Structure 1
């Protein structure tokens, strides 16, 4: 716990210093207001802009249980470089596994009206086992991703891909990807299919994703958009056996919707529903884990860490895996406490529910996990922005997977929120 808290405090100091530097730069009287707005927009998207290149801040510094400190830099060309071509790459280094990871990619635009791009990439990196990435979620960025601190189950992958981005309408985005991957779990794992055992494997996959935001308000120039809710994301994945050396045939269907009700400046509610289903010969690496964020330690204080944004705080890492699952999360944000113009803590009431199952758990060898078929429930609250972005979180586990010891059902953690 001491190491995690120390790292968190170092990152906090870095974030505050960085934010203060940016704030000072933006407060200079000679800065044009339009440039300030554009700079903040780029920063909010995870970029530090320069004339021809933008530095990608997602790779600056992170921490997890497998790599330890992970640091590096990413770079992407911008419109000043070219509006028809782009290059994006990153390189990172893990100080615990002593290994470089990297990606090299680029793309070219076919048509401007529909913002149609063809992209190619080569990536040698890690991915969390049981996680799902939507193709249309590329620009998700946080200064600090708390859940990463405790993840220890990763698989290495070398992936070559080609994809096509296309706007069917300004409110309906699509992306299609063809990829081949070499997968190697970093943990002891065997996947048994009809007596054949695999501890590493090749995949040949095709994906198609849709992101529909029917209530967004978009300007005529398409340069400005105001988020409207609900938003819907749907993704289908097909893995092919004996195509480009693929080892397994399986399919996945993933869905997510986000709804916000109320005024974000006062009290409002946020509902997130996520579901997924996999069929066929699907290895554990590509199944579902339901976003756990609790480490396996004996006492509440030993488990004290940092709460995630949409994770189950009382669910232990690697406790459950599913080939079909659904999660529901309700957050109700109370009106901020108006202590002073600059100090406005906010309480958030939270309840989460997950359900799932697995058809053939015996196929996944050398790793123990449970099922979610009885339904998993937790509720709690957060008090955010108490001091320098710090807050506190309390969650309690109940229902079908309530544990005999009271302390094992409790998660007490930091929260961390920084906005520019």
Structure 2
């Protein structure tokens, strides 16, 4: 699902393709069709292609509470530049923090048969504290990222990384990453260990990740290996090791992360989606690398003051920075009812949702300067969405109950709008 802003780019692309067709061929050929398909596929993945360089649409414009408006430009060289080498970079600017962020990198293909690449990158940017990124995830492209609007807890990082990616089989992707990072939280925070207080710190980490899609179907095409049928369940596993006293690393910890996604039914009718995510951090782990369960609620007194955009897989009634854990488990169930066929163009859809989170933390006293709770009693919320009411807009209602029910009734309610466009 892509966001509505992509329509403008499709119009530009269509105009470009139309002019090319008129100038070169009055009758479309197989080559024309493939070229159009490649361009549309590139835009669907978040790139606008040119002869040698594909512009990355993720960096055009974003917004969050720390940077305000964040805008910039970036991209990566394509196969017309080289099939064995690639260069990628971006530069962005935040108007609220008045700071440039950037990344410079490149890669070398070691094997075409297994799509094995060795990549090197230098990055000076921000990352959300408590978030977990699976390095094997497919590229996620969204013009509009709902949670990003309200996030205010970031840490700066300057990271040099060396990554080896290898396609073990069509169904199994692996990545190995080695990185050295300087971490500087943008908020008042210190990690206390062995009598020493760390407000900034260095990390030396190795990450090994796998993504397994055993039931998906793949096919070799002119455009490369393509997933022609998405099968479920899908599994992601990641092992992270932080090394103390290696290249000035300050902490020694281990993280294990697991995620599985399962869908049952037909998207054109009734279907269910289940997402299970778990993680554990063992050792001396600062808050920046712990877990927050992806909250998406801002601290305002009235329900309508908290009215914003519902995320895709976030806890809508959980307030930002309310919970952190070093052991985390979340489960989400969505049941999509068959769209109501009001007219051919107006087909709203009801989605029933329930979410559960469980977590705990050892040595909470080590984290100074910030107040938070853990999830050791279990967090529960349920609700519904009515999507596609008007040009991709819909409404969301979620209710918080159970062990973390708040005394004020209205504080347990999240009323928001949804924004989804399917092309």
TM class by smaller structure: over 0.9
Q: How does 1:93-132 map to 2 (within 5 A)?
A: 93-132=93-132
Contact residue 185 and residue 199 of structure 1 kept, 8 A: yes
Native 8 Å contact 2:4 2:421 kept in 1? no
Structure 2 residue corresponding to 1:290, chosen from 280, 290, 293 = 293
1:223 paired with 2:229, answer no
Query: Distance in 2 between the 1:304 and 1:192 partners?
Result: 37
- Aligned 8 A contact 1:288 1:325 in 2: yes
Task: Answer yes or no: is the 8 Å Cα contact 1:69–1:94 preserved in 2.
Answer: yes
The root-mean-square deviation of aligned C-alpha atoms, in Å, is 1.7
2:343 corresponding residue in structure 1: 340
Question: Do structure 1's residue 272 and structure 2's residue 275 form an aligned pair?
Answer: yes
Q: Comparing 400-409 with 341-350, which one deviates more in the overlay?
A: 341-350
Q: CA deviation at 1:342?
A: 2.3
Residue correspondences, number: 409
How far apart are the structure 1 equivalents of 2:18 and 2:353? 37
Aligned partner of 1:156 in structure 2 is 156
Query: C-alpha offsets along residues 70-108 of structure 1, whole Å, 9 cap, x if unaligned?
Result: 001111011111111011111100000000000001100
Alpha-carbon shift at residue 340 of structure 1 (Å): 2.3
Q: Structure 1, residues 22-61: CA drift from partner, whole Å, max 9, x if none?
A: 5666788867443333222211211111121111111111
Task: State the SS of the aligned residue for 1:66.
Answer: coil
CA deviations over 1:190-210 (Å, ceiling 9, x no partner): 100021100000000000000
What's the offset of the Cα at 1:19? 4.8
Tell me by how many angstroms 1:220 deviates.
Answer: 3.5
The 1:419–1:20 alpha-carbon spacing in structure 2 relative to 1, beyond 3 Å, is farther
5+ residue gaps, structure 2: 23-27
Using the TM superposition, name which of 404-413 and 131-140 deviates more.
131-140
Query: Which residue of structure 1 lines up, in the alignment, with residue 41 of structure 2?
Result: 41
Partner of 1:186: 186
Matching residue of 1:415? 418
Secondary structure, aligned partner of 1:302: helix
Q: Is the 8 A contact 2:5 2:143 kept in 1?
A: no
> Helix, strand or coil for the counterpart of 1:224?
strand
The residue that corresponds to 2:368 in the other structure is: 365
CA contact (8 A) 2:4 2:392 kept: no
Tell me by how many angstroms 1:383 deviates. 1.0
How does 1:4-403 map onto structure 2 within 5 Å? Answer: 14-22=5-13, 32-221=32-221, 222-225=224-227, 226-403=229-406
Q: What is the Cα deviation at residue 136 of structure 1?
A: 0.7
Q: Aligned equivalents of 2:334 and 2:34: distance in 1?
A: 34
Cα separation, 1, equivalents of 2:265 and 2:33? 29
Find the aligned partners of 1:179 and 1:144 in 2 and give their Cα distance: 29
1:358-407 superposed Cα distances (whole Å, 9 cap, x missing partner) = 01110000100001011000011111111121111110001111111110
Gaps of at least 5 residues in structure 1 are 1-11
**Maintained 8 Å contact 1:143/1:418:** no
Distance 2:17 2:214 in 1: 34
Q: For residue 3 of structure 1, what is the aligned residue in structure 2?
A: none
If the length of structure 1 is used for normalisation, what is the TM-score?
A: 0.94
Distance 2:122 2:283 in 1: 27
Secondary structure, in 3 states, of the residue corresponding to 2:313?
coil
Query: Residues 138 and 186 of structure 1: is their aligned pair in 2 closer, same or farther, counting only changes over 3 Å?
Result: farther
Instruction: Specify the SS of the correspondent of 1:39.
Output: helix
Alpha-carbon distance between aligned partners in 2 of 1:20 and 1:92, rounded to the nearest angstrom: 25
Tell which deviates more after alignment, 31-40 or 158-167. 31-40
TM-score when scaled to structure 2?
A: 0.93
Structure 1 counterpart SS, 2:405: coil
Task: Give 2:25's aligned residue.
Answer: none
Please tell me whether the aligned partners of residues 262 and 274 of structure 2 are also in contact (alpha carbons under 8 angstroms): yes
Q: Distance in 2 between matches of 1:399 and 1:35?
A: 54
For residue 228 of structure 1, report the CA deviation from its aligned partner. 1.0
Q: 1:24 to 1:375 in 2, by over 3 A?
A: farther
Q: In the aligned structure 1, how far is the partner of 2:7 from the partner of 2:220?
A: 37
Q: CA deviation at 1:138?
A: 4.9
